[in-house]
Amino acid sequence: MPVNPQTLSQIEALADSLALDLLGGFHPDAAAKAPPSCKTLLLLGPSPTFWTEISNAPEMSDGQTDPIDRWSVRVISALADELGGTAAFPFGGPPYQPFYSWAMQTGRIWSSPVKLAVHDTHGLFVSFRGALLLPYRLDLPQTRATSPCDTCDKPCLTACPADALSANGYELDACHTYLDSPNGAECMTTGCAVRRACPVGQGKRHPDQSAYHMSVFHPSTQL
């Protein structure tokens, strides 16, 4: 029988036990492109213990593709079922669910100076593993009115050593070219320099997690 927690703190505790952080939520209206039955939408992403959890997951050693996505489907779908709701994911399309626009409605995530999403506690390392679409309305806390970027020196604007990510947008080819060079080793092993430059959320991501994701993003470079 599904259990329907009536407080956000109960859901946060369940998510935390799965190495997931509740990144924010909102009450969708018709423009949110959520199912009409969804009364509360909650976004989930990796917690600081995520890499330890996922490293020991069966999906990481079964030899099949997309282990983290498959883990996310298994774990978040089970959580949604326990809560009496459904799960949505930022992968598996097209069509894709509008996670970026959902994020902008939480009051905890904004567009950064380099156009990447920035979170109030995870900074530029915010990422989404899935969403909980609940058929009941939860009380959500009041969120901050402004982005942390408004009072930041914005080191992200000049952090990219390849000038591939800036206020002008993202030059994918320039990024990959740089990562193929010897100078790209630091980004490959510790993560994107722009994301690392953000003062918000420092230390929330395990370096091995960043290295893994960079190896997926740029598989031609051997770590």
pLDDT for 21 = 97
pLDDT tens digit sequence for 18-65: 999 999 999 999 999 999 999 999 999 999 999 999 999 999 999 999
Sign of CA dihedral 71, 72, 73, 77: positive
pTM, entire model: 0.93
Catalogue the long-range contacts made by 67-70 (C-beta closer than 8 Å, 24 or more residues apart): 68/129
- Kindly report the average pLDDT of the chain as a whole number: 93
* Residue 3 pLDDT class (50, 70, 90 cuts): low
Q: Distance (Å, rounded) from C-alpha 56 to C-alpha 19? A: 12
Find, among 134, 126, 131, 129, the residue nearest to 59 by Cα.
129
Sign of CA dihedral 43, 45, 49, 54: positive
Q: Distance (Å, rounded) from C-alpha 42 to C-alpha 134? A: 8
Q: Distance (Å, rounded) from C-alpha 26 to C-alpha 32? A: 10
* Residue 5 pLDDT class (50, 70, 90 cuts): low
Decide if 43 contacts 23 (C-beta within 8 A): yes
Decide if 223 contacts 184 (C-beta within 8 A): no
Cα 148 → chain centroid: 17
pLDDT tens digit sequence for 64-104: 999 999 999 999 999 999 999 999 999 998 999 999 999 99
Distances, alpha carbon 214 to alpha carbons 133, 192, 206, 219, in Å? 30, 8, 13, 8
Catalogue the long-range contacts made by 217-220 (C-beta closer than 8 Å, 24 or more residues apart): 218/176, 218/179, 218/180, 218/188, 220/176, 220/180
Q: Distance (Å, rounded) from C-alpha 196 to C-alpha 204? A: 11
Decide if 119 contacts 148 (C-beta within 8 A): no
Q: Distance (Å, rounded) from C-alpha 121 to C-alpha 2? A: 31
